C-alpha cells in the first residue's frame, strides 16, 4: 500500500520548502563569509605590496636628494628647491639627472608628496600623504630603522639627513629636518597614546 502523496499533503510540501530555504540561507551565509575572508586577505596582500613599493620609491628620492646635495658646485651645499630639480640639475652646463621621473605615491595614486624642509628651505626628503596605519612595523633596513612601530605613513620619512657641524660622532641634525606636517603628526600620535594610557588606568 502506497503512502500518502506529497501532492495531497500541503504540510509536507511546506516543511520541504522550509528546509530548502534554510539550506539556501546557510549556503549564502557561508559564501559571504568566505568572500569576506578572501577580500580581507587580498587587501592585506595588496597593501603590503604597496608598502614595499613605497619603500623602494622613498629610497630613490633619498638617494637622488643626497646626490643633488653632495654634487653641489662650488663650496656651498644646497638642497633642491623643488622635486623637479632632481630630474634636471640646472646648476651644470651639461644635463645632470638624479631621478628618471617624479614617482606616484603607490598608496594614494598621486604625484603629491609631503615635503621635509631643510635648514636652507630646500627639500631634504619626502613622505607619503596617505592616511591609515602601516601594516609593516618592524624588520626594516638599517637606514629605515626610525620607521619601526610607526602608526602613521607620515612617519616613514625618506630624507637625506644633514650632519650639524661640531656635533660628536657625526650626529645627524634630525631636529632640523622635520616638516611642520610631520611635527603635527607626531604630536597627534603622542596625544593618542596618552589618551589610551589614561583610559586603561
Cell representation of residue 67: 646626490
Handedness of CA 180, 186, 191, 195 (dihedral sign): positive
Phi-psi category of 45—alpha, beta or left, where left has phi over 0 and alpha has psi -120 to 50?
alpha
Q: In whole angstroms, give the CA distance from residue 91 to residue 47.
A: 39
Inter-CA distances, 185 with 108, 113, 138, 161, 163, Å: 18, 15, 20, 19, 24
What is the three-class DSSP state of 109?
Answer: coil
Residues 100-112, buried b or exposed e (16+ Cβ, 10 A)?
eeebebbbbeeee
Q: In whole angstroms, give the CA distance from residue 141 to residue 147.
A: 9
Starting at the edge strand found earlier in the chain, the sheet holding 114-117 runs 114-117, 123-127, 158-159
* Structure confidence at residue 98 (pLDDT): 97
Q: Which candidate, 109, 73, 108, 69, places its Cα nearest to that of 86?
A: 69
CA of residue 62 relative to chain centroid, distance: 16
* Structure confidence at residue 106 (pLDDT): 97
Question: What does DSSP assign to residue 126?
Answer: E
* Structure confidence at residue 29 (pLDDT): 72
For the chain, 201 residues long, the average pLDDT of each consecutive 10-residue run is 53 61 73 69 90 98 97 92 95 92 97 95 97 95 95 96 43 39 45 43 42
* Structure confidence at residue 15 (pLDDT): 59
* Structure confidence at residue 11 (pLDDT): 58
* Structure confidence at residue 10 (pLDDT): 61
Amino acid at each position: 500500500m502506497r503512502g500518502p502523496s506529497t501532492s495531497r499533503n500541503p504540510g509536507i510540501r511546506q516543511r520541504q520548502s522550509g528546509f530548502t530555504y534554510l539550506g539556501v540561507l546557510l549556503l549564502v551565509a557561508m559564501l559571504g563569509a568566505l568572500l569576506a575572508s578572501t577580500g580581507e586577505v587580498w587587501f592585506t596582500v595588496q597593501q603590503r605590496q604597496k608598502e614595499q613599493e613605497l619603500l623602494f620609491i622613498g629610497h630613490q628620492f633619498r638617494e637622488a636628494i643626497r646626490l643633488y646635495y653632495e654634487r653641489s658646485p662650488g663650496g656651498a651645499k644646497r638642497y633642491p628647491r623643488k622635486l623637479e630639480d632632481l630630474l634636471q640639475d640646472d646648476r651644470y652646463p651639461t644635463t645632470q639627472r638624479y631621478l628618471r621621473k617624479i614617482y606616484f605615491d603607490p598608496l594614494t595614486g598621486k604625484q603629491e608628496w609631503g615635503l621635509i624642509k631643510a635648514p636652507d628651505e630646500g627639500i631634504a626628503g619626502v613622505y607619503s600623504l596617505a592616511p591609515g596605519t602601516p601594516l609593516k612595523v618592524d624588520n626594516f633596513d638599517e637606514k629605515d630603522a626610525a620607521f619601526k612601530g610607526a602608526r602613521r605613513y607620515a612617519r616613514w620619512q625618506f630624507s637625506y639627513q644633514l650632519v650639524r657641524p661640531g656635533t660628536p660622532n657625526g650626529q645627524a641634525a634630525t631636529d632640523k629636518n622635520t616638516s611642520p606636517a610631520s611635527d603635527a603628526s607626531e604630536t597627534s600620535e603622542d596625544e593618542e597614546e596618552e589618551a589610551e594610557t589614561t583610559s586603561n588606568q
